[in-house]
Structure 1
């Protein structure tokens, strides 16, 4: 349809659909990543976050979800660590785009104060990168490692996952 002008409503209706999520990458004071085990998929480890609600920005989503899933106000200032892109899959028929924000380094007291939402997560773990490598599948670990490096190096990452 190149060269054919369409009213915005018609044009947008033809575009690929996508959902957007915001989340926080968090570590302890020794830079060991903190992850939460998903209720829906017990082999999946996640960071506090979730899909945007209508009228919400990715940052607002991350803040809201971080509070809902941990009981903590994880961060006050947005610092983007990366963008995560998942292609449509049979179980999720739209692109999924995530913005990963730096949630900082949590103190032992903050970690002890985390209250998981039992409808979302069943466990919290703090592990070194090498320990996570042994506990995660290769694709999930590459994503964790890319975000870990982005925080360490100060250069946001772009991480794409191909079609399943």
Structure 2
């Protein structure tokens, strides 16, 4: 350490940069995960969520994205299920990516049927058992689903790194 303090704007340029996302994890009343099929990569299944806007907290982002992507105004309390760290991927994504996954609770069949998907983002909603999800998801996506589901069942918080 040189003993010289940099102004915040200069110091920030010297440390790792990251983008961030937040989402809500839902199940149906039988405990089966609810996921949305992405439009840009039809093999990708996701939870309602997305990248944080400037000045937005992870919780605010999760609630906003849920409303935008499903039409549902979520009114629950913030309960973190996990954080997800994805190391930068070179030119494909030149910054680290950090996610915050919150517990959205259990939804009734009627609540799930009332989802109004944003067609620019998702094409369908499905409810499946973990074993059914395993059969159709990429391993990395399924590992995240399995870990978050386990954290919720155990009442703990999971740290995921990919």
State the TM-score, normalized to the length of structure 1. 0.94
Structure 1, residues 116-154: CA drift from partner, whole Å, max 9, x if none?
A: 000000111100001001111211111100000010001
Q: Is the 8 A contact 1:27 1:104 kept in 2?
A: yes
Moved over 4 A (4+): none
Q: Number of aligned residue pairs: give it.
A: 161
Alignment partner, residue 34 of structure 1: 34
Aligned residue for 2:156? 155
Cα distance, 1:48–1:2 mapped onto 2, change above 3 Å: farther
CA distance in 2, matches of 1:7, 1:61: 29
Normalising by structure 2, what TM-score? 0.95
Aligned to 1:65: 65
The residue number in structure 2 matching 1:114 is 115
Tell me the CA shift for residue 3 of structure 1: 4.3
Write the distance in 1 (CA, Å) between the matches of 2:46 and 2:156: 21
**How many Å apart are 1:52 and its aligned residue?**
0.6
Equivalence for 2:52: 52
Structure 1 CA distance for aligned equivalents of residues 135 and 3 of structure 2: 52
Aligned-residue offset at 1:5: 2.2
Cα deviation per residue 1:85-144 (whole Å; 9 max; x = unaligned)?
111113211111000000110001101100100000011110000100111121111110
- Cα distance in 2 for partners of 1:159, 1:74 equals 25
Q: Within 2, Cα distance between the matches of 1:65 and 1:159?
A: 21
| Cα deviation, residue 4, structure 1 | 3.7
d(CA) in 2 for partners of 1:83, 1:100: 6
Cα RMSD of the aligned pairs, angstroms, is 1.1
More displaced, 70-79 or 17-26?
70-79
Structure 1 unaligned blocks of 5 or more: none
Instruction: Please tell me whether the aligned partners of residues 74 and 104 of structure 1 are also in contact (alpha carbons under 8 angstroms).
Output: no
Q: What residue number does 1:99 align with? A: 100
Q: 1:65 to 1:6 in 2, by over 3 A?
A: same
Cα distance in 1 between the residues matched to 2:161 and 2:152: 18
